[in-house]
Amino acid sequence: MHKFWKFASLFAAAAVILPLVIALAALYHDARQDPVAFFDARRSRSYQVGTVNSQSREGFTVRSLSVQGNAEHGRTVRFWAYLCAPDSIPEPLPAFVLVGGMYTGRDAINVISDRPELARRAVFIALDYPYVEPEGRGVMDIVRHIPSGRQGLLDGVEAIRLAIDYLQGHPGVDPQRIVLLGVSLGAFYAVDAGGVDRRPAAVMAFMGGGDIQSLVDLNLRRGNHIQPAFLIP
């Protein structure tokens, strides 16, 4: 009986650890590839945008959009977005792709729609991430979610590129003045998308960190309850 429980424990541990090792190996493999070629290979060949509903405000309209990109081998990228555009556009305007934090997503559009003087001067699109959280919080729920979670993380860059595609075809947008604006987690995605796509005129990143170890080290040094050297060599 003792041997049985020992074997069962080892089997359970392997069932958890092996998928994690495979996922880390896949991420390591992704990181070693040329980023431009890697994300170009994931590009959508076509896309559809549907308007779910719209709300008129003070001289501008906010529309809820459903977006789906269609890549090779039947792979799709789906996400929701909000488009905020002036009701009257006498000449093409600059456009901004807003990429908020993980839990802000397309609600970042509220920063613009709450300020009519801004909303009437440009076209804005804010995105949700093409990522679905696991239904449960157990270890096996998370392990089973690793493949789709990895795809969702990688598809964040493609979602931004699809937003650029859409804005370039918008009659009120100057395609030479499309700007990526990322905040928090969105700062990383905005920089990544701007690094592999030449179309944005500018990329603005707020609250992003490039060197994670230095970022964590700095934050820990500002606290009095943890010695950062203990955690980070």
Give, in order, the Cα–Cα distances in Å from 50 to each of 54, 68, 71, 76, 81.
Answer: 11, 9, 18, 15, 10
Helix (H) or strand (E) run with residue 62 in it: strand 60-70
Q: Please tell me the distance from the alpha carbon of residue 6 to that of residue 1, in angstroms, as a whole number.
A: 9
Q: What is the pLDDT of residue 109?
A: 96
Give the chain's domains with CATH numbers. 33-231 (3.40.50.1820)
Q: Is the pTM of this model over 0.95?
A: no
Residues forming beta bridges with residue 202, ordered by sequence position: 179
Structural Rg of the chain based on CA atoms? 21
Which residue stretches of the chain have pLDDT < 70? 1-33, 132-150, 208-233
Q: What is the pLDDT of residue 227?
A: 43
Q: Please tell me the distance from the alpha carbon of residue 62 to that of residue 3, in angstroms, as a whole number.
A: 64
Q: What is the pLDDT of residue 154?
A: 83
Q: What is the pLDDT of residue 161?
A: 97
Q: What is the pLDDT of residue 209?
A: 55
Q: What is the pLDDT of residue 230?
A: 37
Q: What is the pLDDT of residue 146?
A: 58
Model confidence over 139-168: pLDDT tens digits?
555 556 556 666 777 899 999 999 999 999
